[in-house]
A = this chain, B = another copy of it.
Amino acid sequence: MQQSYNPSRMIIIGGGVGPLAGVDLHRQIIELTETTGRDQDHLRVLHLSCSDMIPDRTEALLGGNPEGPALGMARILTAAEACCDRMFLQGYAAVPCNTFHAPAIWDRFQQALAEAGSRLQVLNMISITIDHIRTCYPGIRRIGIMSTTGTRKTGVYAGLLAEAGYETVQTDDQELLHEMIYNTSYGIKAVAPVSGEAMGIGRRILAELQDKGAEAVILGCTELPLALPESQYRGIPLINPVRLLALELIRSVRQ
């Protein structure tokens, strides 16, 4: 069925962090949009990927310089807004990077947009993920988190989940989870299609989190859903924040 949408709105992807995560979000927006099969039913998307303008988020946080990524992405999104203005469109923007949502980066980013006089609506992937869990799984109290070492050390999900009243559990073997993503011979970033070894590690960690009482698991790194594409594992929902972000962006421009 063809969806109605508000033709004065445009989705903006603040991409490049990393570049393939932006492409994955873009693809999911297309695949999750209901159409009659015609190209013309698809939503407007401006995807601006300027990786060289955004320092590594984990290094910035651990090195005490969250301003670098915050200001870089604010500059990118204000440039995207110039394109929206030219088309008389309201932009609905999002950044598909978990670590970018660490409060030290995110809050400075929001401040920089405000200082630039931006009128963009910016969606927060982590808030959307937590709202989704609260709404769709109201009985859940303990949530497993899988993420890179950087996202874990900076407490992106753990902090906001604790504020929302959830208990969280993570793996005792973070090094192994990091290797699942980064190892140069079998990691998700290095090998396509995903190696059996990476998939095996993912399942072992899910079993561990289930043993620790996790009632849902957030795949808190944009690479993880490639190795764990299922929507659940032994009855536990696997939550893909990028997919939820795609759905929320679609809803935002349809209203």
**Chain A interface residues toward B at CB < 8 A:** 7, 10, 15-20, 23, 26-27, 30, 37-42, 44-52, 54-56, 75, 78-80, 82-83, 85-87, 189
Q: List 29 A-B contacts (CB under 8 A).
A: A7-B52, A10-B50, A16-B39, A19-B42, A20-B27, A20-B30, A23-B23, A23-B27, A26-B49, A37-B189, A38-B56, A40-B52, A40-B55, A40-B56, A42-B49, A42-B51, A42-B52, A44-B49, A44-B51, A44-B52, A45-B48, A45-B49, A46-B48, A47-B47, A47-B48, A75-B87, A78-B86, A79-B87, A82-B82
- Which residue on chain B has the smallest CB distance to residue A48? B46
Residues of B within 8 A of A20 (CB): 27, 30
- Which residue on chain B has the smallest CB distance to residue A47? B47
- Which residue on chain B has the smallest CB distance to residue A85? B82
**In the complex, which of the residues B26, B54, B85 contacts A47, with contact meaning CB atoms closer than 8 Å?**
B26
Residues of B within 8 A of A56 (CB): 38-40
**In the complex, which of the residues B18, B39, B48, B49 contacts A54, with contact meaning CB atoms closer than 8 Å?**
B39
Residues of B within 8 A of A15 (CB): 45
Residues of B within 8 A of A54 (CB): 39-40
Which 5 residue pairs spanning A and B have beta carbons closest together? A83-B83, A47-B47, A82-B86, A42-B51, A39-B51
Contact present for B39 and A44 (CB under 8 Å): no
